[in-house]
A and B are shown apart, each in its own frame.
Chain A
Amino acid sequence: MLPASEPHQPPTWLTFLRDVGGVAAVRPVTPPRRLLLSLPTSDLAAAAVALGSVAALASHRSTRPLDPPCAKDAGARVSAFVNGAYRDTRLGAAGSGGATIVGGTTMTRYADTIRLLPAELPERPDRRLRTQGPILGAWAASGLAGANAARLHARCSAIPVVVIGQRSTVAADLCILEAVWPQCGPFLDVGAGLAGWFRHPVLVCDFRLRPPGWLSTCQAALVVCDGAAAWRSQLRRALPRAAHILVTDRRSRASAELIEEVRAGNPATEPFVPTPPRGIEAWRIAEVQVTMLAASAEDEDLF
């Protein structure tokens, strides 16, 4: 599921972080769907969890197509992988035998990756992915036998993994992880911010990002929160249906305080599977879902 040739045996803790990401993304435990990890250092952790989750999702979705979009009205705005590029386009009238037509192209192999675009999502330029390019090259080399790299990429990007943290940190961490898992950087294909939704398997967003209204109509596979600030962010609360993983540094004061708060609200202890290696602490909780009402511009008129 990851690049086959591994020049170094990964350390136990790294394998654990990768496996946690995989388990949480593919088989989100319901309930609880919130995993809290306290680590000796948070370096590399978010990247390793994201890598594990995307690798597991790719493996899982290589044989299982996604559910098609609900509405199939002609003219609906959709995001689709057409002719080697992600495009925001319109759904055409159904073709012969109910085939889906997008932007004049009859979709056969990629029909399940078509996603309805939220009305508020702004126009985006196309994103072209070359078959021989580094990204699809890394996906093709990922060892998933018989799977089409572009289709897998599209399936994973349709329901992406969201990392709340610093993009530069995740990018630097991926470079370091390449010593263990070559080509993991292009394999993850990290997108910056929410504008790349449906187009990247992993999106890294700053914890200060205010979630746009359209986000409530989208689905994420997993939310990885890198630090206490990410856990407290509005963005995390805007994706309540996905599984959440909190990655904290044991040395951080804010993390210790956040975990004290969370523990006070969730006294029940839950055994954590897989059992973490020594030095790593793991806990899971069922978070009470609070629906956040997005403040709209009209509200200001009331005051």
Chain B
Amino acid sequence: MRPALVAVDERYQAAADVDIECHVLEWPTMSDAIRMLRDLRRAADEGVSRNLEDILAGASTWARLVSGTPLAPDALPVATSQLANAVRCHDETGLDSRLHPHLSRFAALLDALGDQPHPAAACLEEVISRYGRANPHDPPAVYIAVDADHAPLVKRWLEDEELDADVRAVTHLRDAPIRDALLLFGPPARYLMTPWCGATHAGRIGGWLLSAPPATHVHIVTWPGHLPLDPDTINVFPTTLAPTIRTSRRGSNTPERDDEPVWLPPTAVEPRVTPAGSWLVDRDPVAATGFRLAGDHVVFYAVDGGDVDGGAGPAPEILTWDGNAVHVTDAEPGQIRVGTVLLFRPLRSATDDELHRRADALLVGKYGPGAPAAAKAAKAELKEALATSGRTDRQLHTALSAALHNSGYARHVLNCVPYPGYIAPEKAGAYQAFRSVLGLPEDDGGRSDRLLRELRTACRRAGIDIIAELISILRATTSWQPNLETFGYATVSGGPLLGELDLRVVVAVDPAVRYIGRSHLGQHVPASGGAHGPAVMRDELP
């Protein structure tokens, strides 16, 4: 058979004859510490001091490290003894005194843990020693699946222990060639659970680690702090027979089943998205739905249809991928769910120079070398006239509203014209009306309007070219997938000229409808405030 057929056949054989062994490890002190940490978290929901909140956040990071690596508790980057000291110091301050029994007990448990080895260490040593390379030039016979950010720690630990294994993130195991064994720290769901991906869903997505693994033997090493393995999530269809899992227990007692993970935030993500104050005072408000994105960003889209007057604003773009097929589709805001991946086009500032360079090249190619300068002069004419009109904003708005018979659109035009990227009102009638309100001479035979139209078309085409190039880069690379699956956001870079595409997972959907300025639609910004869309400021005139 050909090598390609052999490789595929090996994958089918591995899936058909997979041998799964679950090593359940006992660690009573860790069980108690985790139970105590959960109690403290529940108490924190009712309100605790800021200092304790920070300590609990540190404890979450610590718990995630303990559950995702075989390192001894005191060898972790978030050292157990330091955490114990922090808890004890906080307890001694007298703050959160109602939690004194919990805090002192938690500190004592952490102290006790500091002296203990990680039970997985011995188990891993035993399992890895079962397999070996047939030839010194062969790759390691064992894979260890880790969280992407824990890979360096586990690699160093293996080197110290002189163990031979290939450490990879789950995403990088998908296309890995078939080897002898795969080691998992906890059930597959542990690797994929995030605030936007629950245990069952994560189990189903990660079930391939057990039903189509890149190895003939799979060892699940699980200890307190891991979710129990749900055999129903291994297969995607209910009619399929679940694979047999052999369970071996270490220790005298049966470990307690944990039904919730230790490291996730105790409460689900806050769905309410509060727009920044300045977004609300915009005079062109639109009914919009807010979405909270991974990385603590927010974005708003006009509720389906938007208002009749000015359209619905930018449409969300959804990214889906399946193997090498990357799909970018326009969607209605109503179709966005928790877990949807949104694609954001580059910020305008990132590609301004490149956009204008390409637009100029298009204009030169079509209308001759003088075309870019003429078009830009026509664009600047309007901005200059507005800046030097000497009339107040209210006077201009009144005059323009009367000329356009539309107060909202008049406000929109007045807001947008000073922005450097804005060209001119698109409709010829509106453009002429604006000229006359500003006291500019009548457009000679529609010459300026024609120039602006050419400029607009060239800029749009240049923008479409840039986006197409970025999306082709997105389709050609897969390096963004691990980041997106691990952290919920990723960027696809097209170099300094083309800017970046930003990919973000929706973490929560705001049930309420909010009214925000039209210019803020479709732009994701940090939830805490920060950049607020295209700044419409009079002093930004070119």
Contacts and interface: CB of A to CB of B under 8 A. Distances in A.
Interface of A: 8, 11, 13, 36, 38-44, 166, 176-177, 179-180, 207-208, 227-230, 232, 248-257, 259-260, 263, 269-272, 277-283
A47 to B, nearest CB: 11
A278 B236 contact: no
21 contacts: A8-B1, A13-B16, A41-B12, A41-B212, A180-B5, A250-B212, A254-B321, A256-B207, A256-B236, A260-B204, A263-B236, A270-B239, A277-B16, A278-B16, A278-B17, A279-B13, A279-B18, A279-B212, A281-B239, A282-B237, A283-B239
Considering the complex of A and B, which 5 residue pairs feature the smallest CB-CB distances, nearest first? Answer: A279-B15, A279-B16, A40-B212, A40-B15, A254-B322
Contact of A13 (B12, B208, B236, B485): B12
A41 B207 contact: no
Contacts of A271: 239
A232 B318 CA distance: 13
Nearest to B240: A281
B208 A250 contact: yes
B5 A179 contact: yes
A40 B320 contact: no
Report which residue of A177, A248, A251, A283 has the largest number of chain B beta carbons within 10 angstroms of its beta carbon.
A251
Contact of A250 (B17, B236, B320, B321): B236
A179 B1 contact: yes
A11 B9 contact: yes
B148 interface: no
A105 B344 CA distance: 59
Contacts of B239: 269-272, 281-283
Report which residue of A250, A257, A259 has the largest number of chain B beta carbons within 10 angstroms of its beta carbon.
A250
A252 B323 contact: yes
Interface string B9-35: 101111111100000000000000000
Contact of B204 (A229, A256, A278, A280): A256
A234 B211 CA distance: 31
B231 to A, nearest CB: 14
B327 A44 contact: no
B237 A283 contact: yes
Given A41-B8, A41-B212, A229-B320, A281 B325 contact: no
B323 A260 contact: no
B307 to A, nearest CB: 15
A285 to B, nearest CB: 10
A150 B2 CA distance: 31
Contact of B207 (A44, A179, A250): A250
B236 A259 contact: yes
Given A40-B212, A41-B212, A208-B327, 5 more contacts: A13-B9, A43-B11, A227-B323, A250-B236, A279-B12
B270 to A, nearest CB: 25
B238 interface: yes
Contacts of A269: 237-239
Interface of chain B, helix or strand or loop or mixed?
mixed
A302 B321 CA distance: 34
A40 B11 contact: yes
B235 interface: yes
Contacts of B238: 263, 269
A42 B174 CA distance: 12
Given A41-B212, A283-B237, A228 B16 contact: no
Nearest to A45: B8
A276 to B, nearest CB: 8
Given A260-B204, A281-B236, A255 B322 contact: yes
Given A179-B5, A207-B325, A277-B16, A250 B211 contact: yes
Interface in B93-146: none
Contact of B323 (A8, A13, A249, A280): A249
Interface in B236-279: 236-240
A8 B5 CA distance: 11
A11 to B, nearest CB: 5
B11 A41 contact: yes
A38 B323 contact: no
Nearest to A257: B205
Nearest to B204: A256
A108 to B, nearest CB: 43
B283 interface: no
Contacts of A42: 323
B4 interface: yes
Nearest to B209: A251
B208 A251 contact: yes
A278 B539 CA distance: 70
Interface in B442-495: 485
B325 A256 contact: no
Contacts of A208: 327
B201 interface: yes
Nearest to A7: B1
Contacts of A257: 205
B521 to A, nearest CB: 20
Contacts of A38: 235-237
B205 to A, nearest CB: 5
Nearest to A172: B4
B236 A11 contact: no
Contacts of A176: 2, 4-5, 8
B212 A228 contact: no
Interface in B309-324: 320-324
A1 B327 CA distance: 37
Interface in B181-210: 201, 204-205, 207-208
B325 A227 contact: yes
A282 B240 CA distance: 8
Contacts of A40: 11-12, 14-15, 208, 211-212
B468 to A, nearest CB: 13
Report which residue of B17, B208, B485 has the largest number of chain A beta carbons within 10 angstroms of its beta carbon.
B208
Contacts of A281: 211, 235-237, 239-240
